[in-house]
């Protein structure tokens, strides 16, 4: 089940400085502007959904972009999937009256 942030936001936002390839940012910015979607929301939704729904795509991208060995790429992809599934489960438990827990303490 995909987490739907419109049903229940995961929490706050952090202002993070990350390096994104210029061409990638340009495409996402163009699409977000065209469809009136906040760029950060668009990227966050995809960054969370793709590892859960298609960890093989993540592993393939890592292998291609970084000439990474398949085993290491799969391990990273599975770590991302596992951590996001845990995050989604915690959010769903809170929705059903479970104990509210702090999910992320980045800052």
The domain ranges of the chain are: 22-95
pLDDT in tens, 7-60: 655 666 777 788 999 999 999 999 999 999 999 999 999 999 999 999 999 999
DSSP state of 20: -
What separation in angstroms does the CA of 40 have from each of 12, 61, 86? 12, 21, 22
- Model confidence, pTM: 0.79
């Amino acid at each position: 089940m995909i987490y739907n942030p419109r049903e229940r936001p995961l929490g706050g936002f952090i202002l993070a400085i990350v390096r994104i390839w210029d061409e990638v940012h340009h495409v996402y910015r163009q699409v977000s502007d065209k469809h009136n979607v906040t760029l950060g929301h668009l990227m966050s939704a995809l960054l969370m959904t793709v590892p859960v729904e298609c960890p093989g795509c993540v592993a393939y991208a890592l292998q291609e972009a970084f000439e990474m060995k398949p085993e290491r790429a799969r391990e990273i992809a599975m770590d991302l999937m596992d951590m996001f599934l845990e995050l989604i489960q915690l959010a769903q438990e809170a929705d059903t009256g479970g104990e509210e827990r702090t999910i992320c303490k980045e800052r």
